[in-house]
Amino acid sequence: MNAPVAPPAVPPPAVHTTCPYCGVGCGVLATPDGAGGAGIAGDPDHPANFGRLCSKGSALGETLALGTRLLHPMARGNDGALYRLGWDVALDRVAGAFRDAVARHGPGSVALYLSGQLLTEDYYAANKLAKGFLGTANVDTNSRLCMASSVAGHRRAFGADTVPGTYEDLDQADLIVLVGSNAAWCHPVLFRRIEAARAARGTKIVVIDPRRTATGDEADLFLPVRPGTDTLLFSGLLAHLSERGAIDQAYVAAHTTGFATALEAARAQAPDLPSLAASTGLPVADIERFFAVFTATERVVTAFSQGVNQSAQGTDKVNAIINLHLATGRIGRPGMGPFSLTGQPNAMGGREVGGLANQLAAHMGFAPDEVDRVRRFWDAPHMAEREGLKAVALFEAAARGEIKALWVMGTNPAASLPRADGVREALKAVEFLVVSDNVLSNDTLGCAPDLVLPALAWGEKDGTVTNSERRISRQRPFLPAPGEARADWAMVAEVGRRLGHGSAFGWHSAADVFAEHAALSAFENDGARDFDIGALSTHDAGAYDRLPPVQWPARAGTAPSTTRFFAAGNYYTPDRKARFIAPAPPRLAAQPNATFPMVLNTGRIRDQWHTMTRTGLSPRLGAHLPAPFLEMHPDDAARLGLTEGDLARVASVHGEAVLEVRVAPGQQGGTVFAPIHWTGETSSHGRIGAVVDGATDPFSGQPESKATPVRVEAWPAAYRGFLLARRPAGPLGIWWARVAVEGGEGLLFADSEGPDAWSGRAAALLGTQSVAEYADAATGRYRAAAFDTEGRLLGALFLGPAADRTRWQAVLPLFAARSVPASERRVILSGHGLVAGADRGPLVCACFGVAEAAIRGAIAQGCSSVERVGERLKAGTNCGSCVPEIRRMLQPAIPA
């Protein structure tokens, strides 16, 4: 008799969820493997990405390990150490501390600092607790650093924080103007969509940015404006549209006010082309080309991001852009409109909830009737009746000792806020600091919180997020909650109950919270408020669980005829007309001077997200740009005596960082660029937030992060080296940067001491006594390596003169291998064979692990286009984020 045939194993179903990184809001299919991991793929049915993911989204499966997770509530003991305690005791302490602070010092003495990484349900709960039950509007968020100027600009022009368009407009536009947006790196899936539109219909791309980024490289016209002068360009364009008779007089008359004043101001700021060219630094011919194509093209989308928002005049910049679309009536119709690209996964959800200090709730402000409406809906005893402290002002108040109890939720202000060293001190000055987060250690947790609460992370959380095009998507759990971690909304609800508000915080699930949020959006909303998702307020747990991606408005009882706003006016101002806003003349908040003669710009890189707590766990993502860097123009580098890879100190009046120099022709002379991602956890001197000036916009309160006067100088270090180790190693040398590598951890470091000081240290650093060493005092070289009995490389420590820096690319593949052949083991210490043969250069394509050397090799063998390189190596054929870099290699001489 034949043995019974086992039924085929049924693969676990894929869970439809949403990427936790940028504001594109890509749908993700996560298939749990039953061992704490998951397979990750793009969701082909999600309308934000139709199956595509960028390098960061594709690597989500590499970021699910629990090694860095906070798993239990902890309280600080008298000795300064953290000790476990139970949830009940922890939550009692939070409630008690906030109750006492309000009783002793008033509601203005307490605050919550939230995050665009929170889910909408978390945001809603925190906002309700503060504004309805603690009586304070001191609820702000790291989204203040991201898009607060877009919010303020929308509200000034439209009367509400409304994004008029949709992603389909990018497919249908004939001209896309990207302003202050490195979309190729920061919104990669959207940028691929833009490129697809270009291939399909010949869409022209204009990029306006002081810095030539990967996005600028892909543009049909790149306009490298002087920092801070983009408003002048838009003013000049408004005047040009008027001169050419391109104003939509009917739309302006019927649906707007203030055009004449705005036009007069625009003409005063940009009276003619020569003066505009002189002030922006752009060639007259390029300005004329831009003006001509904008004037002649009906379907124009102007998409903008942090380069516009992160400015002390960000709100005016947003309004200068909106003015152009109001003047031409190019808004709310297919393929046209101003489009704010949000940086964070749920900045939009936070805005919908009202989780900013200058909003109340559900797109309502602090007008008496709005306060009364929300009071009645919440049945709230202690309503906040005026705006609270925005992020920068909030931490300034904390530094003065005015904030007695602060709850930081899912963010790391000690690293990410401007003047970050001052923020560290401010956090330490708070009497009772509670931090809910999902990591054991970060810069903020280093500021002696009284209590830390373990929060759920992506893959465990249950709720919703809203992307840049107003599309609400579910983040669904596919992993069990680890340790004692809880949802943030559930922690808030427990505190609310402990403060005596059981019925107001009686939710049993995220679905309950969402239903209440949706009901508030529709409460007494007769169409006077844009944000209305009342149709979702009756969803039970099952319907909430099945909720497909849905774009708002979603009013109860009506199917929207369009998902765009304002084609026929009907703005949310009292007279239902949009407002033209005359921007103030542009000026940098802080001018370069003799002491700080250069201008520092900051931003994101392709493969990392925010402070790297998640993306930093992926070796693939760490391979692209493994150390904090400072980009500068070749002429500036030469003047300062710096070459590629040297260390440079960049200092402002607020603080300093030490970064690796990258010589970049696309950087304007007199300006430098540094990424925002490195913290005190991942580097010794990489916290660029400590340097950033952060003067705030008068309307939005958003800090300037793009134009800090700085001084740059060489930071000599006699020796440079690296450590590869299987277990986390402590800081090394006088400068270091930590990065995940395949099989362990890597540390790049610099030191003032040579081989004599390092000889003999390898055993402790590599965790074994069996270490082979090579030291040469004459050449200043020291190398050590350790193998196990199977020939596996346990670790390596290399040190050499800084001027002749030892690179680790050749050793990385050996460290990742299961075993190293004896012949190659010998050359590790000599170094020669490694450098000659195995150095693959930096990783370019993170999806397929293709390094620079392979791409250059393919080009040398005749691959003359991105497509040919892709056919040969697959590089650039998945998410496409590296296509601009491959194109750069094909065209090495990019003009500055």
Q: Which of 53, 94, 690, 886 binds ligand SF4 (CB under 6 A)?
A: 53
Tell whether residue 786 is a contact of ligand SF4 (CB under 6 A).
no
Q: Does 22 bind ligand SF4 (CB under 6 A)?
A: yes
Compare residues 329 and 884 and give the one whose CB is closer to ligand SF4.
884
**Based on CB atoms, which residue is closest to ligand SF4, 154 or 471?**
471
Closer to ligand SF4 by Cβ: residue 416 or 708: 416
Integer Cα distance of 846 and 537 in angstroms: 41
CB 783 within 8 A of CB 765: no
In this chain, which of 15, 26, 356, 796 binds ligand SF4, going by CB under 6 A? 26
Cα within 13 Å of Cα(22), Cβ side: 30
Cβ neighbours of residue 426 closer than 8 Å, sequence gap 6 or more: 395, 396, 398, 399
Q: Which is closer to ligand SF4, CB of 196 or CB of 775?
A: 196
Which of 15, 40, 54, 348 forms a contact with ligand SF4 (CB under 6 A)? Answer: 54
Q: Considering the complex, what minimum distance in angstroms separates the CB of residue 342 from ligand SF4?
A: 10
Task: State how beta strands 671-675 and 598-603 pair.
Answer: parallel
Among residues 215 and 436, whose Cβ is nearest to ligand SF4?
215
**CB of residue 228 vs ligand SF4: minimum separation in angstroms?**
28
Q: How far is CA 896 from the centre of its chain?
A: 27
CB of 345 to ligand SF4, least distance (A): 7
Residue 128 or 471 having the CB closest to ligand SF4: 471
In angstroms, the CA 149 to CA 155 distance is 10
Shorter beta-carbon distance to ligand SF4: residue 57 or 454: 57
Number of residues that bind ligand SF4 (CB under 6 A): 14
Find the residue with minimal CB distance to ligand SF4. Answer: 57
* CA-closest candidate to residue 747, choices 852, 608, 627: 627
Tokens of 890: 């094909």
Closer of 154 and 187 to ligand SF4 (Cβ)? 187
CA separation for the pair 752, 735 (Å, rounded): 10
Q: Is 56 in the site for ligand SF4 (CB under 6 A)?
A: yes
With beta carbons less than 8 A apart as the criterion, state whether 414 and 443 touch.
yes
List 17, 25, 375, 453, residue binding ligand SF4 (CB under 6 A): 25
The sign of the torsion formed by the CA atoms of 486, 490, 496, 499 equals negative
Decide if residue 391 touches ligand SF4 (CB under 6 A): no
> Minimum CB separation from ligand SF4 for residue 165, in Å?
18
15, 24, 599, 802: which one binds ligand SF4 (CB under 6 A): 24
Distance CA 136, CA 138 (A): 5
- Alpha-carbon distance 134 to 127, whole Å? 10
Contact (Cβ atoms closer than 8 angstroms) between residue 671 and residue 601: yes
Strand ranges inside 467-528, DSSP E: 471-475
| Beta-carbon-side half-sphere exposure of residue 52 (alpha carbons within 13 Å) | 21
- The nearest distance, CB 34 to ligand SF4, in angstroms, is 24
* Segment lying near ligand SF4 (by CB under 6 A), choices 46-54, 299-307, 534-542, 709-717: 46-54
Angle at Cα 487 formed by Cα 482 and Cα 489, nearest 5°? 170
Smallest separation, CB 95 to ligand SF4 (Å): 36
Site for ligand SF4 in 157-216 (CB under 6 A): 187-189
Stretch that binds ligand SF4, among 54-62, 138-146, 498-506, 782-790 (CB under 6 A): 54-62
Structure tokens at 835: 């450098």
Q: What is the C-alpha separation between 149 and 126, in angstroms, rounded?
A: 22
Widest distance between CA atoms in the chain: 96
**Coil, strand, or helix at residue 829?**
helix
Q: Which of 15, 16, 17, 19 lies at the binding interface for ligand SF4 (CB under 6 A)?
A: 19
Binding residue for ligand SF4, selected from 15, 16, 17, 21, defined by CB under 6 A: 21
Q: Residue 513: which H helix or E strand, with range?
A: helix 510-522
Please select the residue that binds ligand SF4; options are 32, 47, 57, 73, rule is CB under 6 A: 57
The answer to whether 341 contacts ligand SF4 (rule: CB under 6 A) is no
DSSP state of 144: G
Binding site for ligand SF4 (CB under 6 A): 19, 21-22, 24-26, 49, 53-54, 56-57, 187-189
